[in-house]
Chains A and B, each alone.
Chain A
């Protein structure tokens, strides 16, 4: 038996023991299927021929055993016609084998998204299995929401619920007083980010994400060395949350392998020519942070902060033998949501990351600031949603503007239209996709 099958086996054993626990157990079964068709087309001169058609089906089954035990499974079946934006063109090295989407033919994949069992006993709660755990209060960008790795198949354009990669976690929560509780996570699953391949539509190009390589040098990239399943290689976390005098507060700690692989290099001389062997590996780090939110009349004020002890940044000089340089980083966000207009939301966020304790110049700015502005309104008794989100980086002056219109035709059907526009410096997080502007139509049907 493979070690990385252990979490699935544990969940299965627990489920079987529930089923065989004897006595009459009232079983409530709920099932649904979300069908979705997405059609996207490039609208710049460089990508106007780039069309994508995606069909997906997401069946979900919920079993409620009536004794407090619930079981959930969610599968996603996808068929994509454009291989430049597909599961096929995303690195699968980061997945532990049990998590890898199964590729079927050239265009289709099947992925077990979530599979977990959960039970509450008094003030205690346990959730065991493949799941998503979401931290933080930020929209659009992530500071604390890093428990799960992410697929960057479509950069950050997919909803986080779809781009977050569910992993095997044991989650325990307990109330410790009337207004506070703790959460403990044990994460033996070391799946890391799924990054787009070099020829993918959303392949990273910014030098803050992808190192420049010296010219004329032969390069061999090794597969990612994922830490093997063991207690020592597991991630663990602790979160305390409370509601005190109107304030929602959390304190968060995560000891983890950073899901962004670090590249270490080994230089060789082959036939009098320099060759580089690049070995991606995951590095350990501690994350300490917290979040808050409160409301004042029409305004919700929220924020979060994360301090990482061991972060690795791409060096600015490609001639250095170490591609990545170690440092520390503090990131924080302050958000203000204004509900002053009827059925509308105006939200402003100020994100900033500060790098320190670093020995050399790196590609990412030492103080990196991004502003976001979200304007949202609902019409026709909440059947029509209009939304615009602008993300602008103040260092590179690049931006992403996302506009969407969503219409709930009826309780089963949702129709959406999106416009995504990137602009700015090609070394920016958003500007690197300046030629990837697109328009997208989606149709969702819920069975």
Chain B
């Protein structure tokens, strides 16, 4: 073997060795430990962004909603509000949710319907219900790319490449049939990017074990030093319906007034 070839191959072998070592390190984590790392990721104290929701049915018919979404932590309590700006038939609809740190306390939610000129208090316990016509559940809207710790039993089952990024696959089985009924699925396989600890893909099976939907988290970039998902796409395999959430104008630094999360502002709009 010639010396210059050996000089290339040794560093390459060392790089492969380090790569395997990095992968092996991730694999020593349990499923719950991986989810903890994911959930501990910084998501900013406040967040304002535009959210475009696109829904396509099996016939290819498209519906698009333009909204403005705001989020803010009040201590450990997280408040999220979504104001609909278009289309005209649902313009000024608004949704407010208070997510308490104490997981034994149900979230509080309100929906403002401009056609009734009333703010309606709605039950938040149906976290598995689909959010306002989309294929995302209320729970998925709340958690985005995070995952509940307590609802599942987890184990690492492998590795994969998703959109060119190395991921650890964690299988999560819902702990009780009651929770499976609540969430609308019994099992999921989540692919977590083990470099930035963010979910890149999730596949869900319904309570009967049939393939339910696949969620892709894409266009993940660091914005103001915070890893941010800019696109969430869910394909519902049972209904052949697709929903895409596209986030733009993401800003973690712009101050968000407390009153943006009040029932009065729901009625008044932005």
Shortest beta-carbon distance from B245 to chain A in Å: 14
B123 within 8 A of A: yes
- In the complex, the chain B residue whose C-beta lies closest to that of A123 is B259
A417 / chain B contacts, CB cutoff of 8 Å: none
CA distance A412 to B88 in the complex (A): 8
Whether B129 and A343, one on each chain, are in contact in the complex, defined by CB atoms closer than 8 angstroms, is: yes
**Binary contact readout B38-57 vs A (1 if CB under 8 angstroms, 0 otherwise):** 00000000000000000101
Is there contact, CB below 8 Å, between B63 and A410? Answer: yes
Bound Cα distance A80, B115 (Å): 22
The reply to whether B122 and A300 form a contact with Cβ atoms under 8 Å apart is yes
Given the complex of chains A and B, what is the CA–CA distance between A299 and B135 in angstroms?
Answer: 24
B54 to chain A, nearest CB (A): 11
B239 CB within 8 Å of chain A: yes
A342 close to chain B: CB less than 8 A: yes
User: Which one, B89, B91, B132, B258, contacts A408 given CB within 8 A?
Assistant: B89
Q: Does B37 contact A (CB under 8 A)?
A: no
- Looking at the complex, which one of A134, A137, A178, A381 makes contact with B241 (CB distance below 8 Å)? A381
Asked if A412 meets B89 with Cβ closer than 8 Å, knowing A295-B121, A381-B130, A381-B133, the reply is yes
B135 touching A381, Cβ below 8 Å: yes
A154 within 8 A of B: no
**In which size bucket is the chain A interface?**
35 or more
Closest A residue to B134 by beta carbon equals A381
* Docked CA distance A92–B15 (Å): 87
**Residues on the A chain within 8 Å of B264, using CB:** 125, 173, 181
- With A and B bound together, what is the CA distance between A16 and B117 in angstroms? 28
Decide yes or no: A300 and B121 within 8 Å by CB, A381-B241, A382-B133, A410-B61 being known contacts: yes
Question: What string of 1s and 0s marks CB contacts (under 8 Å) between A93-134 and chain B?
Answer: 000000000000000000000000010100101000000101
Complex Cα distance, B63 from A382, in Å, reads 11
Give the distance to chain A from B172, nearest Cβ to Cβ, in Å.
22
The listed residue (A32, A159, A178) touching B91 by CB distance below 8 A is A32
Chain A, residue nearest B128 (CB): A342
Nearest-CB distance from A185 to chain B (Å)? 14
Q: Contact check, B123 vs A161: say whether CB atoms are below 8 A apart.
A: no
Q: Could you tell me if B122 and A339 are in contact, using CB atoms closer than 8 angstroms?
A: yes
**B26 proximal to A (CB < 8 A):** no
Q: How far is B130's CA from A380's CA once the two chains are assembled, in angstroms?
A: 11
Chain B residues contacting A446 (CB-CB under 8 Å) are 87-89
Residue A443, interface by CB 8 Å = no
Interface code B92-136, partner A: CB below 8 Å = 1, 0 otherwise?
000000000000001011000001111001111110111011110
Rounded to whole angstroms, the CA-CA distance of A447 and B132 in the bound complex is 22
Interface presence of A56 (CB below 8 A):
no
Smallest CB separation, B250 vs chain A (Å): 21
B237 within 8 A of A: no
B30 contacts chain A at the CB level, 8 A cutoff? no
B259–A298 contact, CB under 8 A?
no
B91 close to A302 (CB less than 8 A): no
A295-B109, A383-B63 are known contacts; what are 18 more A-B pairs with Cβ within 8 Å? A32-B91, A34-B89, A137-B118, A181-B264, A241-B263, A248-B263, A297-B106, A298-B125, A299-B123, A300-B123, A339-B122, A339-B129, A340-B126, A342-B129, A408-B63, A408-B89, A410-B61, A446-B89
B interface residue numbers (CB < 8 A to A) = 55, 57, 61, 63-64, 87-89, 91, 106, 108-109, 115-118, 121-126, 128-130, 132-135, 184, 239, 241, 258-259, 262-264, 268
Chain A positions near chain B (C-beta within 8 angstroms): 30, 32, 34, 118, 120, 123, 125, 132, 134, 137, 159-161, 173, 175, 178, 181, 241, 243, 246, 248, 293-295, 297-300, 302, 337, 339-340, 342-343, 378, 380-383, 408, 410-412, 414, 444, 446-447
The 22 sampled A-B contact pairs (Cβ below 8 Å) are A118-B268, A120-B259, A123-B259, A132-B117, A134-B116, A137-B118, A160-B116, A294-B121, A295-B108, A295-B125, A298-B125, A299-B123, A300-B123, A339-B129, A378-B133, A380-B57, A381-B130, A382-B133, A383-B63, A411-B64, A411-B87, A412-B89
